[in-house]
């Protein structure tokens, strides 16, 4: 990973045009070739970015990041304060807690929770950026499912990245997304629905076949 802190302006030229005026920002270049621009006030989303595959053309004062569609992220560097590279190695991925791991296992065993035509293709379906919890089929359509105990905006962003990558595979595309959780915070639900991701609340006790102790009227 390469981290560059610099005063820069950024222009995106493609299907849409966007401009970031000069300011001090973090430019992050990852091993997969992705480039993202960050401010100091956003925890979960960059100001602008270019997803792989893309190439970086560096010239004095200007970086051109171009993807295979010809879209360009142009970074004009006025002053570089720090330019550092780190070798992070292979990441083991997210280690789920006991409840979340068991929830994934139970949903894999009963994919019809999501619909009567759902069948499991694979648990922990590996992509270039990490494993998708469940890959299912809804009839003939591919569906990527991210399983959380409590789903936040970060979970939506994670699933969005998986879907973006998987939809480039002609053997899988089109791939729909489902965020399955015991609890989904309102902001995550709004963002998921805006991106066409279906939200499903799951009952851990019901999946385990455990009857609730609470008294009910009916």
The rounded distance, in Å, linking the Cα atoms of 49 and 33 is 11
Coil/strand/helix, residue 140: coil
pLDDT score, position 91: 67
Write out pLDDT tens, residues 31-76.
888 899 999 886 668 899 888 888 999 999 999 999 888 899 999 9
Report the pLDDT value the prediction gives residue 44, as an integer from 0 to 100: 66
Spelled out in words, what is the top-level CATH class assigned to the domain 98-208?
A: alpha beta
pLDDT beyond 80 at 93: no
Residue (of 144, 155, 102) closest to 121 by Cα position: 144
Residue range 144-189, pLDDT digits in tens: 999 998 999 999 999 999 999 999 999 999 999 999 999 999 999 9
User: Does this model's pTM top 0.85?
Assistant: no
Does the pLDDT of residue 207 top 90, yes or no?
no
Give Cα 184 distance to the centre of its chain.
16
Tell me which CATH code domain 2-85 carries. Answer: 2.70.180.20
Q: Write down the domain spans for the chain.
A: 2-85, 98-208
- The pLDDT, as a whole number, for residue 5 is 96
User: Could you give the angle at which helices 153-166 and 186-194 cross, rounded to 10 degrees?
Assistant: 20
Which of 100, 105, 98 lies closest to 120 in space, CA to CA? 105
Which range among 11-20, 40-49, 82-91, 124-133 shows the weakest confidence by mean pLDDT? 40-49
Q: For residue 50, give both structure tokens.
A: 């270019």
Residue with tokens 């001090």: 24
């Amino acid at each position: 990973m390469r981290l560059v802190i610099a005063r820069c302006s950024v222009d995106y030229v493609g299907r849409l045009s966007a401009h970031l005026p000069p300011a001090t920002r973090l430019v992050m270049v990852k091993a997969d070739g992705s480039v993202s621009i960050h401010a100091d006030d956003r925890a979960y989303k960059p100001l602008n970015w270019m997803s792989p595959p893309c190439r970086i053309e560096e010239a004095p004062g200007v970086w051109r990041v171009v993807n295979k569609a010809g879209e360009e992220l142009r970074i004009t560097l006025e002053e570089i304060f720090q330019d550092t590279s780190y070798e992070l190695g292979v990441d083991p991925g997210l280690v789920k807690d006991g409840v979340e791991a068991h929830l994934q296992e139970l949903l894999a065993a009963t994919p019809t929770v999501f619909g009567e035509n759902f069948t499991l293709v694979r648990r922990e379906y590996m992509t270039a950026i990490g494993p998708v919890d469940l890959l299912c089929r809804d009839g003939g359509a591919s569906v990527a499912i991210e399983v959380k105990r409590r789903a936040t905006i970060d979970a939506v962003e994670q699933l969005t990245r998986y879907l973006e990558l998987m939809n480039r595979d002609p053997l899988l595309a089109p791939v729909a997304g489902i965020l399955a959780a015991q609890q989904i915070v309102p902001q995550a639900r709004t963002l998921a629905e805006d991106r066409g991701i279906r939200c499903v609340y799951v009952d851990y006790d019901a999946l385990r076949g455990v009857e609730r102790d609470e008294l009910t009227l009916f």
